[in-house]
Amino acid sequence: MSAEEPPAASPSPRRSPGRRTAFVAAGVLVLLVVVAVLVVVLAGGGKHKAPAAAPSSSAPAPTTPPPPSPSPTPVPQTFPYVVLQAGDCVSDPSITSSLKKVTKHDCHSPHDTQITGLVQLPAGLKTAFDINKQGRALCKPINDAAWHRQPAALADRLNEGIYFPDLKPYQAGTHTVTCMLEIGFRASKLTAPLR
């Protein structure tokens, strides 16, 4: 006879393919339901109103009218130039570094700039660049006329300049541009009114 054959191994426990398929199908179904609920919630598909406040056992508090809204406060002026007038003489921190703000002077004392005129910007400008460009165009004839009245030696030291509002003050209604002639950065100060 032949050598002893090993006893037949007992069958290992196996799951039936039908049972595994049922578990996978159930898992996929649960996953689809969760995804569908998330889509509805995130997309706002459920048209829910905010829950009403629970009725209070105490009497409702008397309603008080809201405080009156304060009158609109004007936008602070970024530059003090809006109070300057044609003929005023000033010194400017961009020329005189020891200054912190534009300073008005008597025209017979040393100063950097003399105001040649004030002009109004049109409405509807959209950028600070547009405000600057339009302001320069409006001031050019005023500054040119004042420049041509100066003696040649003085005219050679003068530059055209403007003070113009930033975009926010402009949008709030500040449309004044101040036209001026000013000395160059390293030039000596003006000590008399321009002609």
**pLDDT of res. 28:** 57
pLDDT digits (tens, 9 = 90+) for 123-176: 999 999 999 999 999 999 999 999 999 999 999 999 999 999 999 999 999 999
**pLDDT of res. 184:** 84
pLDDT (average), residues 65-89: 57
pLDDT (average), residues 14-26: 46
Cα–Cα distances in Å, from 23 out to 13, 19, 163? 18, 7, 78
pLDDT at 88 over 70: yes
pLDDT at 177 over 70: yes
**pLDDT of res. 31:** 60
Kindly state the helix (H) or strand (E) to which residue 146 belongs, with its residue range: helix 128-148
**pLDDT of res. 30:** 59
pLDDT at 192 over 70: yes
Q: Is 33 left (phi over 0), alpha (psi -120 to 50) or beta?
A: alpha
Residue 139: closest CA among 190, 177, 107 = 177
Structure-block tokens of residue 13: 């426990």
Cα–Cα distances in Å, from 92 out to 118, 163, 182? 17, 11, 9
pLDDT digits (tens, 9 = 90+) for 32-76: 655 555 444 444 443 333 333 334 444 444 444 444 444 443 433
The distance between the two most distant Cα atoms of the chain, rounded to a whole number of Å, is 139
Residue 86: closest CA among 179, 192, 164, 159 = 179
Domain layout of the chain by residue ranges: 80-183
Q: Look at 122 and 18; give whichever has higher pLDDT.
A: 122
pLDDT (average), residues 168-187: 92
Residue 178: closest CA among 75, 77, 74, 86 = 86
Question: By the 8 A CB rule, do 110 and 189 touch?
Answer: yes
CA angle in degrees (0–180, nearest 5) for 130-132-97: 150
What does R_g of the chain's alpha carbons equal in angstroms?
41
Residue 104: closest CA among 118, 89, 92 = 89
pLDDT class of 100 with cuts at 50, 70, 90: confident
